[in-house]
Amino acid sequence: MKKLLLMIATLGYLSAQAQTAEEIVGKYSQALGGLQAFNNVKTLKMSGSITVQGMELPITVQVINGKAVRSDVEVMGTAVISSYKDGKGWKQNQFAGAPDPTDVTEGELADLKAQANASSILMDYKARGHKIEMAGKETVDGVETFKIKLTQGDTQKPTTFYISTKDYALIKSVANMELMGQSMDVETFYSDLKDVNGLKFFTTRTQKADGEEFQSVKFDKIEVNVPIDEKIFDKP
């Protein structure tokens, strides 16, 4: 009888843990405007600047929700482009002496695919076939956070999200990314929430690798449901 009660208690604990992760993600989503509201977005266009190695460069990101994403960075009169549409991706870096578009790597393709949505990968984890679990708590820059580990269903790639225990705001995420041909763990810090048509977006994202900041993106203008020519995502 005692063993049976212990098993029931253990199962109840595990269930509570799973529900807690889902509850936290649900409150995080609601704080941003709700998953359904983001799913109703047709297109998204964000303009601003990206700071890399002390250089501040114009950047534009355009999204057809659930289908395509393209980012354009202007560097000294040349273009650095990354684009994804319907499972295919390409890139072009005129600044690095590569004027012709080439296919992205498998790792880059996975990262671009995750960006081709108005909602974040965490908000829409179920529909994308991913799993989440509690990974404890941790203090980040003086803020107590829940640690939520997300494992992508297609690649098994893990990402850890740190969500404030106070207001369910996303503080940072940690994921392994491919940068300049190398695989490394990247910390992304989120700040400066902006309300656009009832949806909240983090307009500043700062990224670090090995504790060193290597780039920061700030979006000054965010437009929802604006006309976007689908042809711009196709490889030339």
Task: Decide if 186 contacts 177 (C-beta within 8 A).
Answer: yes
- Take residue 213 and report the two structure tokens written for it: 């900041």
Where do we find the tokens 């295919």?
88
Sequence-distant (6+) residues with CB within 8 A of 139 are 145
* More confident call, 6 vs 181: 181
Task: Decide if 126 contacts 151 (C-beta within 8 A).
Answer: no
Question: What pLDDT score does 85 carry?
Answer: 98
> Does 16 score more than 60 pLDDT?
no
According to DSSP, the β-strands at 212-224 and 158-164 are unpaired
Give the other-Cβ count within 10 Å of 160's Cβ: 16
Mean pLDDT (the chain) is 90
Task: Decide if 58 contacts 51 (C-beta within 8 A).
Answer: no
Sequence-distant (6+) residues with CB within 8 A of 194 are 200, 201, 203, 222
Task: Decide if 89 contacts 109 (C-beta within 8 A).
Answer: yes
- Take residue 60 and report the two structure tokens written for it: 């534009």
Per-residue pLDDT, averaged over 23-49, amounts to: 98
- Take residue 210 and report the two structure tokens written for it: 């090995």
Calpha distance 155→122 (Å, rounded): 15
- CATH superfamily of this structure's domain 2-233: Lipoprotein localisation LolA/LolB/LppX (2.50.20.10)
Where are the domains positioned within the chain? Answer: 2-233
Question: What pLDDT score does 8 carry?
Answer: 44
Task: Decide if 52 contacts 164 (C-beta within 8 A).
Answer: no
- Take residue 4 and report the two structure tokens written for it: 């049976």
> Does 14 score more than 60 pLDDT?
no
> Does 6 score more than 70 pLDDT?
no
98-148 confidence digits (pLDDT tens): 788 999 998 889 889 989 999 999 999 999 999 999 999 999 999 999 999
> Does 218 score more than 50 pLDDT?
yes
> Does 2 score more than 50 pLDDT?
no
